Every structure is written in structure tokens, then in C-alpha cells.
Amino acid sequence: MKVLQSLVHRLEKTHLLDNLRPLSHYSSAFHQAIRSYKNASNPTENQRSQPSVSDGDAGYCTLPASQYPPKIKQSFLKKAGRSPLVLGIAIISLTSTFGYRFYNAPKLDIGKAAPQTLYAPLSANVIDKSATDLNRSAARKDTLSVLMLDQTVNQTVMRSLQQQLQQGSDLRQTAGAFPYVRTSILTLFTQAYLRKLPESQWQALLIEADRGFSQNRSISNLKTAIPASLMDTAAQKAIAELRNYRRSVEMSRYLRLVQSVNESQLKYVAALASSTEPTPALPDELNVVLLDLTDADWQTVRSQTPKIAERILAQGISPGLPASILAAAVQLQVKGEFSNEAEAIASNLLISLLQPNLIQDENQTRERAEQAAQGIQPVMVSINRGEKIVRAGDIISSKEFALLDHFGLSRRGIDWFGLVGFGVLISGSVVVVWFVKRRFHPSLRRRDGVLLWLLSLSTPLLVALQVPSINLPAIGLLVGGFYGAPLGLTVAGLLTLLVAVGMEVTWSTLIASATTGLMCGWLGGRLRSREELAWLGVGVGALQGLIYLVLNVASGIVWYTLLSASGIQALLGLAWVIVALGISPYLEQLFDLVTTIRLVELANPNRPLLKRLASEAPGTFQHTLFVATLAEAAARALGGNVELVRTGTLYHDIGKMHDPQGFIENQMGAPNKHDLINDPWISAEIIKKHVTEGIVMARKARLPKAIRAFIPEHQGTMLIAYFYHQAQQQVEKHFDEPQLNPDGTILSLNENDFRYDGPIPQSRETGIVMLADSCEAALRSLKDATPEEALAMINKILRARWQDQQLVQSGLTRNEMTEIATIFVQVWQQFNHQRIAYPKLAIASPPSS
């Protein structure tokens, strides 16, 4: 006991004199004190106690509680007794915040049976709030939408109309002017008829018109005429007009008329051939009518049709307006403005191009709906003193509840039975979280429980503040990202249940948020980059908006209001992911958490510590890379946290930067520093110091404790065998002549002086890194060995670590040792594959040109 008190006194004194020493320095003295105390109490016990870590502390001894020193035992019991208190505070706070509806709950509520007949103590005129709210809600739904003109649609319609009119003008320009001769010579009807005639019919018609003028025939090749039985009225009229004109003018003028008809026919055919569909907005038969309009009629169409379109659009066209009603409106507008032929052209153009241009004015509609709701008079319930409100056993209606609540007969107050039952539900939820934690995340710390508690409390706080969406997506993403999918799904699901039972929220909002919260909890730990998080936010927003829309389709809400609300829900879902992404780095620093994304960022070779390691201790850096390759392969095969193993391995030897030349991989053929020292005790201290210095560097760089744990645990309490054997030789050599230490004491060999301070690996990941670090040098030294020989060497090293009890707290099993050895040999084979031996002549000769 005196030895323990002396060492504790030395520890306190050292702490006062040197505040800059790392925690592991004090841990070493502390462990030494515990071991001394144990040996003093049981001198025959030779088994070395194994230190371990808890919540990032330097370590504690795994002694039975009965063997702890009094102060340590008292501290242990104090912490053990504190846990139920913390758990009780968590349950009470969660129950009080989530159980909102149990605080002012009426015992006599709508839908419940009255326990006795109740009478009105006074006369009163009371508002039936429930019925009033129902009527006002119906008024909001039945409010007609306020519409406004969509100027974009108007511009599109007018632009399309101008394009169609320009195409018509281009087509008419190809066909030539109409009429192409004066109407005093040929009527419009005859001119239109003649320019459409095929060449053969036109020649036959000329022959018939020339009949009776054969004595002065000037057209030589007219041999036949049209039989009278085949001529229609139009042909007969055209022949008559041609004959009349021929009788009244000279032959030259008649021939010029024939030439004008020929030219018009050619232009007409060219116009029809220039486009198979000259004006797509018109039916095919009206394309022909378009060419038969006079130039004056066409100019009227071009000038008046846009004006008519503007008038109709200004009046507004509602969505869903039947086509027949739109056609009737167009007919009324064009009537009297055009000739019959032009009227058909204008009507068809307008009917085909006009579109609905009325859209909902959301602000005005919302204001009108609210005005309509406020215009509904409250539903009043009157009763006189002594009248019966409700009979015993009857179901209470909204009217009767309004009277009971007014007279204070609804018995409002804390629903203790419901609140206690809800507390039981909260307790069960906490137990479920605890079981999931023990199963999937046994290393959960007290601070992690505090974070889960705070995140859970944020949900009822936001509901109380009437935020239009619940923060379940953010909580699911944070918990899933910090602690994995099982805990993320559990917390999101339990919060959904608690909100549904204890708080008043709309089901559509709750289900939409719960679904996306579960999705975030499931995917949170699987994300590897910020880009994947961004895509997750888009998916969460789309899913939340879609679920809200589907759940409210049958609610009777007008479609435009429903679409607007669904869009808001989608934006809120995206916003929660952005919030989680924004606060995640702060929570990681505050609660010392590691996420997959943070591990990937810390493993970047451009991080300051890793850049220093590569430049100041290049041999150690190369050693680190090979150890990382071995450890990653083993962790992947055993189902461990590969990202944590990779990142922890990269930092496990950063402490060697304090004295790179003290480690053989950095000496690069230079004289061995330890040969010059020639003192195994000092050399062992130099080697051990890379652990303590590494912890200091990691703390200055603000590395997470999960990463810092790899620095001491990858060495555990292993023996620095090389210098220990050197010390043994020196002690045996001078056995007959005892040597003195500088302080005058007799030089003796203490194995603890050559062992690392620990702790031994506390997780599978650090245990794997210890094994990979131990095997790396041996594997590098093998050049021409067979895989069987390499496997035998690795098994020997792993067996030594197992027998040295370095892995008893890591969670690794004996069966996994065999699997790890096989994986290490496979990786070694990949690094030492056979290469082609190039001939010396081929290497020395320059390539042929």
C-alpha cells in the first residue's frame, strides 16, 4: 500500500510540474501503480493485468472490482450509480416534451360516453368550435379560384398566328396576284376556275370557246372540243365569258388574256408544289380557299385576325373549356368582319391556335378562401340554466362538448394515466435503442447518448414551434451517418411512433417525413462523398413531396393548392438534408464523431500530418502504406469498418516523426543510431516515445479519438524484444559485477521497462492493425519464399500476439486468426508477383526508329 501511495504522490507531483506531457505518460505511471498494488496484495500472482480504454481515456486496469484500491473503487461505484440517474432524466425529459397532448386533455371528450347525466349550471350561448372549424374548412375548399391571364401563353399564341399569316402571304406571293385580270373581263369565279384547270382541259375549253370563230382561227392546234354533255356550269360560264370578250376586242388582246390565264395556271401549280402543307393550322380544303381569296380579302384577314385574337385572349380562355364553346365564341367575333371565304380562313386559324390562358392566382385565391372562411358565422349552442347537457351513457357530440368545456365540466387536466403509459412507451423506446446499440454499436459512449437525446428533443421542439415539416430526415441522416443504418432506422422509426402518440400533427406530414427519415437513416452510413449527399437531398425532397401529394389526393383540396403544398414539402425535405449536412461537421467536432465521409477526408494524402510523414519519415510512410493494404484486406474480409482501418493505419505511426532516425526504415543505410547509444534502456524509451509523441501530434491536429486510439493500441503492451534481449545480455554479462544506475541504485532488469504502455487493442479494427503492423516487416523480408513458408511465418507471429494476451479485448477470435493469416499471404503474393526478365541487350539497345 505504501508503494501505491508513493507512486500516486509522484504522479500528482509530475502532473503539477509538467502540464505538457501527454495523457499516456500519466497512464503509464497509473498502470504501474495498479500493478504494484496488485503484486503487493498477491505476491504469487504472475499474470500481467491488461489495460483498456473507455471513452477515450488513457486506460484502466481490468482488475475485479473487489481488488480495486479504495479511491478507484469509490469512483467506479459512483459512476455506476450515476447511470440510472442519467437514464431517468432522459426518460422524464423525453416524456415531458413528447407528451404534449396529455397535459391539458379533457377526460370527457368528443366520442366518449358520459359517466353521468350533466346539467347546465348557468344559461349560456357557446361557440361550437369543432362545428365552426368544420364549416370554415368546407368554405375554404369550396371557394372558387381567382384566375389571371398568363401573358406567356398570349405571346405564344400571337407569335404562332403571325407565323401562320406570313406563311399564307408567302404562298399567295408564289401563286401570283388574284384576280390576275380585271373582273370586267372575267369574273372572280371564272378566274379561280380557269387557273385550276389542267392543261388538257384548258386546251379543250379554248377549242369550245373558239367554236363559231373558225373562219378566223388563230390557234392552229385546236382539233377537238368538249362534248356538251361533259361541260359543267362553271365550264359553260367560262366559255361564255371568253366568247363575249373575244367578240368585243381585237384578237391580240384576246390572245393576251389567254396568255395571262396560262401564266396564272403555272404559278398556281408552283404554289401548290412549293409545300405539301402550306399552312399547317388550316385543313387541306381551306389551303385551296386561301389562294382563291382576293388580295383585298387577304389583307383584311392579315389585319383583323390578330385584333380578334387579342380580344378573345383578353377575355380569357379557361382550362378545360369545350371546343364547341370556343368555336362559337370565335364565330361571333369574326362575323361581319370578312367575306364568307375569308371568314372560314380566319375562324379556322383562330380555333386551331387559341389556347387556355387563365391560370390560378394563388395569393388572391388564398385570400378569397380565407375571407370566405371568416365570413362563416360561428355555430352557436344555447342552453338555459338547469337544462340537461348530456345523459349518462350517451356519446358526447361536438355540441355537447362545447357546453361541457365552457362550464368546466370536461374535466381538463393532466392525463396522468396516459402520461404514465406514454412514459412506459418512452422507456421501452430507450430500451430498444440500448439493445440495438449493444448489438450493432457496443462502443457507444455516454456523449453519444447525449447527442441522441438532444437530437430527439429537437423534434417536439420544432413541432411546438409549428414548423410545417418534421425534422426526421435530418435526424435519420445524422444518426445513420454517425452510428450506422441499424441505429438510424431505429431512432427515426421510434421518433415517428412517439410523435404520432404524444403530439398533434397531421398524418400526411408525419408519414411523409417518417418515410424520408427512414430512408436517410438507412442510407446515411453508406454515403462516401458530399456529392452523394446532394443527390440524397434531391431524392428526399422528391419522395416527401410525392408522398404528401398521394396522401392528400382524396382529401378534397383543390389541385393547385395541393400541388403548391406538395412542392413546399419537397423543398422542406431538401432543406432538412442541407441542415444535416451543414451541422454535421460541428457535431463531429463537438462530440468527437467519425463518419465515413470524414474518414475519407482524413485519409487524403494531402492532409498536413500525412504530408509531413511522407517528407520527414519516408520509410515509415512506405511502411504505413503496406500495413494499410494488409489491414484493409483483412477488415473487408471480416466485415470490419474498412474506412476506419485505412485512416487509422495512416496515422498510427505519425509519432516516429519526433525522431525518424531512431527507426531503421528511415535510416537509408546510415549508421544505426542505437548502436551509437549502446544503451537498450534509452533505446527502448526512444522507441516507446513514438506512441506518446504520436498522441500529442494527433491531439494538436484535432484527430478524432477513434483515430487516435490506433496510435497506442497498435502496439498494445508488447515487448520491445530486440532491446530487451540486449538488456538481458548486459545484465547476465555483469551478473558477478553488479552495475549501478546514474542515481546509484543497482542496475536490474524489469520487463515493464521494455513494454509499451498500452492499452491493448480495444476493437477489432485496432487489433487487425496490430497484426498487420507486426507482420509487415516479416513479409517484406520474404523474397523467394513459397506461400506455405510465408503462411507458416505469419501464423507464428499471430500465435505470439495471441499468447501474449494482446488481443483478449479486441473481439477477434482464434478462428479469425487463421483467416487473417491467409489474407495477409494473399496480399503479399499480389505485391511479389513474378515479372518478365528482360534481356540485357534489349534493355541497353535504343529503340529502332
Residues 6+ apart with CB under 8 A from 420: none
Provide the grid cell at 421: 403509459
As a whole number, mean pLDDT of residues 746-768 equals 83
Provide the grid cell at 450: 447525449
Is the pLDDT reported for residue 200 higher than 50?
yes
DSSP-assigned states of every residue in 643-654: HHHHHHHHHTTG
Residues of the chain with pLDDT > 70: what percent?
Answer: 80
Provide the grid cell at 68: 480495486
Other beta carbons less than 10 A from residue 836's beta carbon: 4
As a whole number, mean pLDDT of residues 555-566 equals 71
* Confidence (pLDDT) at 287: 63
Mean pLDDT, all residues of the chain: 78
Local confidence band at 388 (pLDDT 50, 70, 90 cut-offs):
confident
Other beta carbons less than 10 A from residue 464's beta carbon: 11
Please state, in angstroms and rounded to a whole number, the distance separating the CA atoms of residues 719 and 750: 11
As a whole number, mean pLDDT of residues 371-391 equals 81
DSSP letter, residue 335: T
Other beta carbons less than 10 A from residue 584's beta carbon: 21
Q: Which amino acid is at 320?
A: G
Local confidence band at 80 (pLDDT 50, 70, 90 cut-offs):
very low
* 214-252 per-position pLDDT tens digit: 544 444 444 444 555 446 788 889 888 888 888 888 888
Local confidence band at 628 (pLDDT 50, 70, 90 cut-offs):
very high
As a whole number, mean pLDDT of residues 669-673 equals 76
Between these two residues, 215 and 671, which has the higher pLDDT value?
Answer: 671
Please state, in angstroms and rounded to a whole number, the distance separating the CA atoms of residues 532 and 595: 14
Is the pLDDT reported for residue 752 higher than 90?
no
Other beta carbons less than 10 A from residue 201's beta carbon: 14
Q: Do 29 and 14 meet the contact criterion of CB atoms below 8 Å apart? A: yes
CA dihedral 508, 510, 516, 520 (to 10 degrees): 180
Residues 6+ apart with CB under 8 A from 302: 165, 168, 169
Is the pLDDT reported for residue 413 higher than 80?
no
Is the pLDDT reported for residue 290 higher than 60?
yes
* Confidence (pLDDT) at 333: 87
* Confidence (pLDDT) at 710: 93
As a whole number, mean pLDDT of residues 624-648 equals 91
Is the pLDDT reported for residue 107 higher than 60?
yes
CA dihedral 789, 790, 792, 795 (to 10 degrees): 180
* Confidence (pLDDT) at 595: 80
Does a cis peptide bond (omega within 30 degrees of 0) precede residue 43? no
Long-range CB pairs of 92-97, under 8 A, 24+ apart, other chains included: 92/423, 93/453, 93/457, 94/426, 94/430, 94/453, 94/456, 94/457, 94/498, 95/419, 95/422, 95/423, 95/426, 97/457, 97/460, 97/461
Residue (of 792, 613, 817) closest to 701 by Cα position: 613
Question: Which of 13-22, 166-175, 544-553 comes out lowest in average pLDDT?
Answer: 13-22
* Confidence (pLDDT) at 731: 74
DSSP letter, residue 505: -
As a whole number, mean pLDDT of residues 96-125 equals 75
Provide the grid cell at 322: 369545350
As a whole number, mean pLDDT of residues 560-567 equals 79
* Confidence (pLDDT) at 7: 37
* 793-825 per-position pLDDT tens digit: 899 999 999 998 988 988 898 889 999 999 999
Is the pLDDT reported for residue 29 higher than 80?
no
CA 431 vs. chain centroid, Å, equals 30
Q: For residue 181, give Cα distances in angstroms to 238, 257, 289, 294, 512.
A: 14, 8, 19, 12, 76
CA 83 vs. chain centroid, Å, equals 36
As a whole number, mean pLDDT of residues 38-55 equals 36
* Confidence (pLDDT) at 79: 45
Local confidence band at 491 (pLDDT 50, 70, 90 cut-offs):
very high
Q: Do 404 and 108 meet the contact criterion of CB atoms below 8 Å apart? A: yes
Is the pLDDT reported for residue 605 higher than 50?
yes
DSSP-assigned states of every residue in 773-792: HHHHHHHHH-SS--HHHHHH
Is the pLDDT reported for residue 164 higher than 60?
yes
* Confidence (pLDDT) at 743: 60
* 400-412 per-position pLDDT tens digit: 777 777 777 766 6
Residue 359 DSSP SS3: strand
Between these two residues, 84 and 206, which has the higher pLDDT value?
Answer: 206
* 128-154 per-position pLDDT tens digit: 888 888 888 888 777 777 888 888 999
* 439-458 per-position pLDDT tens digit: 887 777 788 888 888 898 88
Residue with cell 503509464: 28
* 326-339 per-position pLDDT tens digit: 888 898 888 888 88
Please state, in angstroms and rounded to a whole number, the distance separating the CA atoms of residues 542 and 768: 42
Q: For residue 464, give Cα distances in angstroms to 460, 627, 629.
A: 6, 53, 51
Q: For residue 333, give Cα distances in angstroms to 22, 336, 681.
A: 93, 8, 110
Other beta carbons less than 10 A from residue 784's beta carbon: 6
* Confidence (pLDDT) at 746: 57
Long-range CB pairs of 279-285, under 8 A, 24+ apart, other chains included: 279/164, 279/167, 279/168, 279/171, 279/349, 280/164, 281/160, 281/164, 281/348, 281/349, 281/352, 281/353, 282/164, 282/345, 282/348, 282/349, 282/352, 283/348
* Confidence (pLDDT) at 473: 92
- The two most distant CA atoms of the chain are separated, in Å, by 164
Residue (of 761, 772, 756, 757) closest to 649 by Cα position: 772
Other beta carbons less than 10 A from residue 495's beta carbon: 27
